[in-house]
Amino acid sequence: MAPASNLLSINQPHIPDFTDPLRLMVHCHQRIEAQLGSLQRAGELIRGADTATLATAFAAVDVACNHFAIAGVRHTLDEEISLFPRLRDLGGAAGREALAAMSDLEFQHRTAELLHGEFDELVKYFPRDGSADTREIDYFNQIVSELAVLYRPHIALENNLVFPIAARVLPDSEVQKIGREMRARREDILRKAQLS
């Protein structure tokens, strides 16, 4: 039988680190999808829920909003400042296939930013005591649905086309630079984690 320490590592999914930035970006997408799922469940819960359920729903909403405002913004920077320019400059023929997708992806990033801004504004004033009317609840769910419709194919395109092309065409030295830039964008978070 394996020692307990080995069982922990066997049963825990591997979370890539900054030395594997492309896989780390895929992991970031998994976290985005999890937050979208939380928002969708919260939207279902706020319809006629009791006070305790509302508190749980809005706790999930607050976590998701915080995630998108901090980690989500940094993830977009990882792609637009660190990855996409390198693919444009160094991708060659294979990179041209990804290039066609990148302008759409950047446009989708701008659309997501607008939707998140709209959602954050709604959530700031949303009644958390169960007094929200049907229009407010419908609007909440509409924005969440629009975010899901935007993100899911966007994530699939990056995971299945852009990142694999980047893994094939970018020199390892450039991939490692991407990882270092990603780490630098999160230096404040890493510093806080070390202090706690």
Please state the domain extents for the chain: 22-195
Q: What is the pLDDT of residue 95?
A: 77
Distance between CA atoms of residues 125 and 172, nearest Å:
47
pTM, two decimal places: 0.87
Ranges of the chain with pLDDT below 70 = 1-13, 190, 196
* Class in CATH terms, 22-195: mainly alpha
In this structure, what DSSP letter does residue 19 have? T
Q: Which own/partner pairs from 66-74 qualify as long-range (CB within 8 Å, at least 24 positions apart)?
A: 67/31, 67/32, 67/35, 68/32, 68/35, 68/116, 69/116, 69/120, 70/189, 71/28, 71/31, 72/32, 72/116, 74/182, 74/185, 74/186
Helix (H, G, I), strand (E, B) or coil at 49: coil
Residues found in the chain: 196
What are the pLDDT digits (tens) for 34-85?
999 999 999 999 987 788 899 999 999 999 999 999 999 999 999 999 999 9
Q: What is the pLDDT of residue 196?
A: 67
| Structure tokens belonging to residue 8 | 């922990």
Q: What is the pLDDT of residue 85?
A: 93
Environment class of 95 (CB within 10 Å of its CB; exposed 0-12, middle 13-18, buried 19+): buried
